[in-house]
A and B are shown apart, each in its own frame.
Chain A
C-alpha cells in the first residue's frame, strides 16, 4: 500500500525567508500524482501545487515550487518569500493514476511564520 511520510511535524520560518517542507512516499507504481495541500486555521483545505509523476519538470505556482525526485520518492515543497498568510498545516498527498484510487495523505507539517 502506498504511504506518505512527512518527517517534520513543525517548521518555522521568518517572514520573507524561504522554507522547505519534506515529503517522502512509498509506492511500487510508476504513474501517479503528488499534491501539496494547505489547511489554514479556518480549516478549509486548499490545493497548493500538483505534480504529475511522468513529468520531469518540477511544478511551480508563484512562490511555491516542488523538488520532485522520482527515484528517491521524494517530493518537497519550497515556499519562497514567506508571508504571514502562509502559516498553516501543510499536507503532502499521493494518488495513483490507476482508476479510482484514493488519496493518501501524510500526517502534516505545521508551518509557523514569524514576523
Chain B
C-alpha cells in the first residue's frame, strides 16, 4: 500500500496570505490527524478528522481549520499567516480513530512564512 502523502512538500508564503495543505491517507484509513512541528514548541496536535467530521481539536486559533472529504483525503487551511506559523506540518492517518490504533505519518509540508 502507498503511504501517507502530503502536498506540497515545501511552501513559501508571506504574512497575511492564506495557505491550503493536502493530505492523502493510506487507502482504507478513515482517520486523519494534523500536527504542527516547530523547534520551539515541538509537536503539537492541531485536529483530527474521521468520516468527514472533526472529532477533536487542539489549542490553536481559529485561523487554523481543516476538512475531510468522502475519500478520506484531508486539507488544512491557515488564514492570515503569521511568521510564527512557519513549521513542518505533519499529517497522520489510522485505520480508525480509536486511541490505540497506530498512526502512520506523512513526510510533512515545510511552510515558511516571510
Residues of A within 8 A of B (CB): 32-33, 37, 42-47, 50, 52, 91, 95-108
Task: Report chain A residues within 8 Å CB of B63.
Answer: none
Q: A100-B55, A102-B58 are in contact. Are A47 and B103 (CB under 8 A)?
A: yes
Query: Closest Cβ of chain A: how far from B86's Cβ, in Å?
Result: 15
* Candidates B35, B48, B102; contact of A47 at CB < 8 Å: B102
New A-B pairs, 16, CB < 8 Å, besides A52-B100, A105-B42, A105-B43: A37-B105, A43-B108, A44-B106, A45-B90, A46-B105, A50-B102, A95-B100, A97-B100, A98-B99, A99-B97, A99-B99, A100-B56, A101-B99, A102-B45, A104-B45, A108-B42
Q: B66 → chain A, closest Cβ, in Å?
A: 14
Kindly state whether residue B104 has any CB partner on chain A within 8 Å. Answer: yes
Number of A-B residue pairs, CB cutoff 8 Å, is 57
Given the complex of chains A and B, what is the CA–CA distance between A81 and B48 in angstroms?
Answer: 37
Chain B proximity of A37: nearest CB distance (Å): 8
> Does the CB pair B43–A91 fall under 8 Å?
yes
Interface residues contributed by chain B, number (CB under 8 Å): 25
CA distance A64 to B97 in the complex (A): 26
Looking across the interface, which residue of chain B has its beta carbon closest to that of A6?
B42
Top 7 closest pairs, chain A to chain B, by CB:
A45-B105, A102-B45, A105-B43, A100-B56, A100-B55, A95-B99, A44-B107
For B21, list chain A residues within 8 Å (CB): none
11 A-B contact pairs sorted by A residue (CB < 8 Å): A33-B100, A50-B100, A52-B100, A95-B100, A96-B99, A100-B50, A102-B48, A103-B103, A104-B45, A106-B42, A107-B42
Chain B residues in contact with chain A, CB under 8 A? 33, 35, 42-45, 48, 50, 55-56, 58, 88, 90, 92, 97-100, 102-108
With the chains together, A96 CA to B100 CA distance in Å?
Answer: 9
User: Closest CB-CB distance, A1 to chain B, in whole Å?
Assistant: 10
Taking a contact as CB atoms under 8 Å apart, the answer to whether A97 and B88 are in contact is no
A98 to B45, CA, bound (A): 16
Contacts of A47 in B (CB 8 A): 102-104
Which A residues are CB-close (under 8 A) to B35? Answer: 103
Shortest A109–chain B CB gap in Å is: 12
Most buried by A among B48, B99, B102: B99
